[in-house]
Amino acid sequence: MRLPGDIDLRMAFAVFMRNATDYRRTWWLNILPNFFEPVLYLLGLGIGLGYYMREGLEGKDFIAWLAPGLMASAAMNGASFETTYNMFVRMTFAKLYDAYLATPAQIQDIAFGELLWAIVRAMMYGVVFLIVVSVMSLFGPPIVTSPWALLLPVMLALIGAMFALIGQLYTSCIRVIDLYSFYYTLWLTPLFLFSGIFYPVDRFAHGEQIAWFTPLYHAVRVCRGLSHGEVTTSMWGSVVWMLVSSVVLMRVVPWRLRRRFFR
């Protein structure tokens, strides 16, 4: 079966399954740190710092306000790691793409297979975190309070896709693995700090106008809106923002990769 952009789904699935096969061996090495990270932030900041913020934020307990943003960032991190370091290693050191390309698979199939896998990774982290905070909600802070939250797994997939594609675009442009330090310290870390996960973006002048152009802001807004049942037009606007950027990147990434591999 073919998708637009001449993507052969059978080939993409083969690439996906290669990653799944490899992952079976090391999942406990990979999944644990990524699982603990958002939970630690939730406990350390939500319960620790939250204790001193009795009045909460925007009418919510601080922990309830904080948790959905951490969920979005968990999905971001899961997808990003997969299409940065992991993809780079497969592509260059393991020369796996050359092996794929020697089969009937084309580069766009490979990119799509990698994308599907990164989405699964993003969902694993996001959904595990969602389960944790949902259980917490039963006993304490009202983090997940709305049936709209049933849409969260779908949104986590979209967030994963968007960040996976951004990671793929960066990976398609770099030649040395060391350049990821810039991606992490000057891209993902600022997104994590300034996208309205820990405090509203309008803390800084023009915060909202600037944040609107960045991806994690929209991811956080959607996760928060669905968790709390505050489903607004601007939240759907954020969904559209993520969809459009993902579709655009799905055309750009294979083109970039093809220029790199077919020359």
Partner 1 sequence: MTSRMADESGPAIEARGLTKRYGNRAAVDGVDFRIERGEFFGFLGPNGAGKSTTMRMIYRATPVDDGVLRVLGHEAIPQNDRAIKSRLGVVPQEYNLDERMTAREILEVFSRFYGLRGEARRTRISELLDFAELEDRKTSPVAELSGGLKRRVQIARGLLGVPDVLVLDEPTTGLDPRARRALWDKLIALGDRGTTIVLTTHYMDEAEKLCDRLVVMDEGKIVAEGTPAGLIADNVPPQVLEIVVPEAAERRRLHEHFGPVALARVELADRLLFYGTDGEALLRRLFELRDGTDARVRAANLEDVFLSLTGHGLS
- Looking at residue 92, the DSSP 8-state letter turns out to be I
Contact call for residues 16 and 116 (beta carbons, < 8 A)? yes
- Find the binder of partner 1 among 79, 96, 197, 250 (CB under 8 A): 96
- Report the distance separating Cα 104 and Cα 79, nearest Å: 27
Residue 99 interacts with partner 1 (CB under 8 A): yes or no: yes
CB of 104 to partner 1, least distance (A): 4
φ, ψ of residue 194 to 5 degrees: the values are -115, 20
Q: Which is nearer to partner 1, 57 or 177 (CB)?
A: 177
- Find the binder of partner 1 among 33, 44, 104, 190 (CB under 8 A): 104
Neighbours of 150 (CB within 10 A): 9
- Report the distance separating Cα 124 and Cα 118, nearest Å: 10
188-225 burial, b at 16+ Cβ within 10 Å, e below that, comes to beebbebbbbbbebeeeeebeeebeeebbbbbbbbbbb
- Find the binder of partner 1 among 36, 103, 202, 259 (CB under 8 A): 103
CB of 37 to partner 1, least distance (A): 25
Site map 1..40 versus partner 1, x via CB under 8 A? -------x-xx-xx--xx--xx--x---------------
Q: Which amino acid is at 188?
A: L
Q: Which is nearer to partner 1, 41 or 100 (CB)?
A: 100
Contact call for residues 171 and 84 (beta carbons, < 8 A)? yes
Contact call for residues 75 and 122 (beta carbons, < 8 A)? yes
- Find the binder of partner 1 among 40, 49, 98, 210 (CB under 8 A): 98
CB of 157 to partner 1, least distance (A): 23
CB of 62 to partner 1, least distance (A): 43
Residue 112 interacts with partner 1 (CB under 8 A): yes or no: no
Q: Which amino acid is at 103?
A: T
- Find the binder of partner 1 among 54, 175, 206, 263 (CB under 8 A): 263
For 53, the token pair is 């913020």
Q: Which residue has tokens 């309070």?
A: 145
CB of 52 to partner 1, least distance (A): 47
For 163, the token pair is 């960040």
Residue 101 interacts with partner 1 (CB under 8 A): yes or no: yes
CB of 101 to partner 1, least distance (A): 6
Q: Which amino acid is at 155?
A: M
* Angle, CA of 256, 122 and 68, to the nearest 5°: 125
Helix (H, G, I), strand (E, B) or coil at 143: coil
CB of 79 to partner 1, least distance (A): 22
- Report the distance separating Cα 118 and Cα 250, nearest Å: 14
Residue 95 interacts with partner 1 (CB under 8 A): yes or no: yes
Residue 102 interacts with partner 1 (CB under 8 A): yes or no: yes
Q: Which is nearer to partner 1, 15 or 166 (CB)?
A: 15
Tell me which residues touch partner 1 (CB under 8 A): 8, 10-11, 13-14, 17-18, 21-22, 25, 94-96, 98-106, 261-263
